[in-house]
């Protein structure tokens, strides 16, 4: 787990030295029109593909198109050729199943163990890795029923790729879009070489010592929120979510169950997480406030590693804002354009002043740069006293520091701004230090 996650995924992809037999499942979502691209990419890479589509998928995309790109007939119903017991034959043939798109209904049926059509019957029978690429409207994706279905499927070892955010089928935008076919294919092929859920990735990395967070639940936020300006633009930041994902993995090493509330963390990082991590998507500061407080109701500790936007636009335009070019402009002048902002709630400070569960431990991060008033630590101490979290990990950020796939260095302060520890190294090493300090406090509480 010490290696950068991207390196692990890269190795997984390049380790595929021979063509594979892949079932591409297609469920009933408008994104079904993108399924042929998934099939084509797999075939271009030399893999054999068999398409299994649901009845509703065939209302969005024709069987002839899927048959033409895959080079095989498309299967749909279990009674199309009962004598062939096709769902068993296809499930045994498959070395990998990738469902793109996976509708909310398909996720629910797979979670329930239904086998009422060829696709669900194949999935229920199949022993190969199963990768699901969801596509649905935001409200369906964030519905507790779907959240629970996804968490259970991940616990069982299926890979559920995080959907993208952006323009949906109707007029609105949000999380729920099917990711790009290239990304689906690389995630699916990576699943062939990743250890099964509950396997090596979920084990204690050291294999030694007691697990200090056994039976504990930690909520960890990761990534950076994006505050929409209009359907295409947002205010965002450079947080990658690597530190939050490393914290989740380090907490699992110590036996904890983790809820990771993530904002715009790359799929390869999320898919490399151990199975004990339940991922909840929260794109904006307001979404994150709701998701963190809800998940924290039964948590022993909350670690806010996400970069939460301090401000958001007062209004979000329903359609794309047009560039204002004054009449008679020579296109060389630079008219000023301003966006009115309002302050987002401070989630960390709220967890301290009004904890969702009494006595829970709260840990924050302070990404700082020095300025003419003081250095990084000066600003960190002031923040520790202001936010009053049990622990605040202060780190310097800048062009080459803190963000992305780079080492990290932190000074950990208590609520009075007093230094309790310092450490540097990979994000995983920093994560282990913080999880160890958090475990001290959880076990003393
Ligand atoms: O004030 P600043 O953004 O530097 O504080 C950083 C810490 O506060 C981080 O732990 C971050 O997750 C948290 N935070 C928050 N809600 C905000 C802004 C920051 O929880 N609106």
What is the model's pTM?
Answer: 0.57
pLDDT digits (tens, 9 = 90+) for 107-157: 999 999 999 999 999 999 999 999 999 999 988 998 999 999 999 999 899
Strand pairing class (341-343; 311-313): antiparallel
Number of helices followed by number of strands (H, E) in the chain: 16, 19
Between the CA of 240 and the centroid of ligand 1 the distance, in Å, is: 15
> According to the annotation, is 322 in a ligand binding site?
no
Q: Whole-angstrom Cα distance, residue 366 to residue 382?
A: 10
344 lines ligand 1 (CB under 6 A): yes
Burial-class residue 197 by CB neighbours within 10 Å (0-12, 13-18, 19+): middle
Cis peptide before 101 (omega within 30 of 0): yes
346 lines ligand 1 (CB under 6 A): yes
Tens of each residue's pLDDT in the chain, 445 residues: 333 323 322 333 333 447 899 999 999 999 999 999 999 999 998 999 999 999 999 999 999 999 999 999 999 988 888 777 888 999 999 999 999 999 999 999 999 999 999 999 999 999 999 999 999 998 899 899 999 999 999 989 999 988 887 777 777 777 789 988 988 998 888 787 654 433 223 333 333 457 999 999 999 999 999 999 999 999 999 999 999 999 999 999 999 999 999 999 998 899 889 888 999 999 999 999 999 999 999 999 999 999 999 999 999 999 999 888 777 777 777 788 899 999 999 999 999 999 999 999 999 999 988 888 888 999 999 999 999 999 999 988 765 555 555 567 899 999 999 999 888 778 888 899 999 999 999 998 7
> According to the annotation, is 161 in a ligand binding site?
no
Looking at the CA of residue 292, tell me the nearest atom of ligand 1: 20
- Among 196, 192, 199, smallest CA distance to 17 is for 192
249 lines ligand 1 (CB under 6 A): no
362 lines ligand 1 (CB under 6 A): no
Nearest CA to ligand 1 atom 19: 308
In degrees, rounded to 5, the angle at the alpha carbon of residue 31 between the alpha carbons of residues 61 and 278 is 140
- Is the distance from CB of 382 to CB of 353 less than 8 angstroms? no
5 lines ligand 1 (CB under 6 A): no
Looking at the CA of residue 389, tell me the nearest atom of ligand 1: 10
149 is catalytic: no
DSSP per residue, 43-63:
HHTT-EEEEEE-TTHHHHS-H
3-state DSSP percent of the chain in helix, strand and coil, to 5: 35, 25, 40
308 lines ligand 1 (CB under 6 A): yes
The best mutation among 264, 364, 371 to test binding of ligand 1, ranked by most ligand atoms within 8 Å of the C-beta, falls on 364
- Is the distance from CB of 149 to CB of 162 less than 8 angstroms? no
Q: Whole-angstrom Cα distance, residue 267 to residue 132?
A: 12
In Å, the largest CA–CA distance within the chain is 80
The best mutation among 346, 376, 410 to test binding of ligand 1, ranked by most ligand atoms within 8 Å of the C-beta, falls on 346
Q: Whole-angstrom Cα distance, residue 185 to residue 173?
A: 24
What's the distance, CA 199 to chain centroid? 20
pLDDT digits (tens, 9 = 90+) for 344-401: 999 999 999 999 999 999 999 999 888 888 889 999 999 999 999 999 999 887 655 5
295 lines ligand 1 (CB under 6 A): no
Report percent pLDDT > 70 for the chain: 90
- Is the distance from CB of 296 to CB of 188 less than 8 angstroms? no
Nearest CA to ligand 1 atom 2: 366
| Side-chain half-sphere exposure of 409, counting CA atoms within 13 A | 7
Q: Whole-angstrom Cα distance, residue 186 to residue 190?
A: 6
- Helix (H, G, I), strand (E, B), or coil: what is residue 334? coil
Q: Whole-angstrom Cα distance, residue 100 to residue 172?
A: 22
Burial-class residue 134 by CB neighbours within 10 Å (0-12, 13-18, 19+): buried
Between the CA of 313 and the centroid of ligand 1 the distance, in Å, is: 18
The best mutation among 238, 291, 348, 369 to test binding of ligand 1, ranked by most ligand atoms within 8 Å of the C-beta, falls on 348
Nearest CA to ligand 1 atom 6: 366
> According to the annotation, is 320 in a ligand binding site?
yes
Looking at the CA of residue 365, tell me the nearest atom of ligand 1: 10
Between the CA of 367 and the centroid of ligand 1 the distance, in Å, is: 9
> According to the annotation, is 387 in a ligand binding site?
yes
Q: Tell me the CA distances in angstroms from 15 to 12, 160, 189, 268, 354, one per residue in order.
A: 5, 21, 10, 16, 49
310 lines ligand 1 (CB under 6 A): yes
């Amino acid at each position: 787990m010490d290696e950068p996650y991207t390196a692990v995924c890269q190795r997984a992809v390049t380790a595929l030295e021979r063509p594979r037999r892949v079932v591409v499942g297609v469920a009933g979502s408008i994104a079904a029109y993108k399924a042929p691209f998934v099939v084509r990419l797999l075939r271009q890479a030399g893999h054999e593909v068999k398409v299994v589509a649901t009845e509703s998928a065939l209302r969005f995309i024709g069987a002839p198109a899927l048959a033409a790109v895959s080079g095989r007939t498309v299967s749909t119903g279990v009674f199309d050729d009962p004598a062939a017991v096709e769902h068993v034959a296809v499930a045994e043939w498959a070395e990998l199943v990738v469902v793109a798109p996976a509708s909310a209904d398909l996720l629910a049926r797979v979670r329930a163990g239904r086998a009422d059509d060829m696709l669900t019957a194949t999935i229920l029978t199949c022993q190969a890795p199963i990768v699901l690429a969801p596509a649905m409207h935001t409200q369906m994706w964030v519905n507790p029923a779907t959240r629970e279905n996804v968490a259970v499927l991940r616990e069982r070892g299926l890979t559920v790729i995080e959907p993208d955010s952006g323009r949906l089928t109707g007029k609105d935008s949000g999380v729920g879009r099917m990711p790009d076919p290239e990304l689906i294919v690389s995630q699916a092929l990576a699943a062939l070489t990743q250890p099964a859920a509950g396997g090596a990735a979920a084990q204690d990395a050291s294999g030694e010592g007691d697990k200090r967070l056994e039976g504990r639940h930690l909520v960890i936020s990761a990534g950076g929120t994006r505050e929409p300006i209009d359907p295409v633009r947002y205010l965002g930041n450079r947080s990658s979510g690597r530190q939050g994902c490393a914290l989740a993995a380090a907490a699992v090493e110590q036996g904890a169950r983790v809820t990771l509330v993530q904002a715009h963390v790359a799929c390869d990082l999320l898919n490399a997480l151990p199975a004990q991590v339940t991922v909840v998507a929260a794109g904006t500061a307001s979404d994150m406030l709701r998701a963190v407080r809800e998940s924290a109701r039964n948590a022993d500790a909350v670690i806010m590693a996400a970069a939460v936007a301090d401000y958001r636009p007062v209004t979000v335009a329903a359609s794309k804002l047009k560039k204002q070019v004054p009449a008679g402009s020579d296109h060389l002048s630079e008219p000023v354009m301003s966006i009115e902002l309002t302050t987002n709630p401070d989630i960390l400070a709220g967890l301290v002043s009004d904890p969702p569960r009494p006595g829970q431990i709260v840990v924050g991060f302070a990404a700082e740069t020095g300025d003419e008033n003081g250095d990084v630590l000066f600003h960190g101490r002031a923040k520790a006293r202001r936010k009053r979290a049990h622990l605040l990990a202060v780190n310097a950020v800048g062009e080459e520091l803190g963000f992305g796939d780079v080492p990290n260095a932190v000074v950990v302060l208590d609520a009075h701004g007093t230094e309790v520890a310092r450490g540097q190294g990979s994000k995983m090493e920093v994560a282990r230090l913080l999880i160890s300090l958090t475990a001290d406090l959880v076990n003393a509480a």
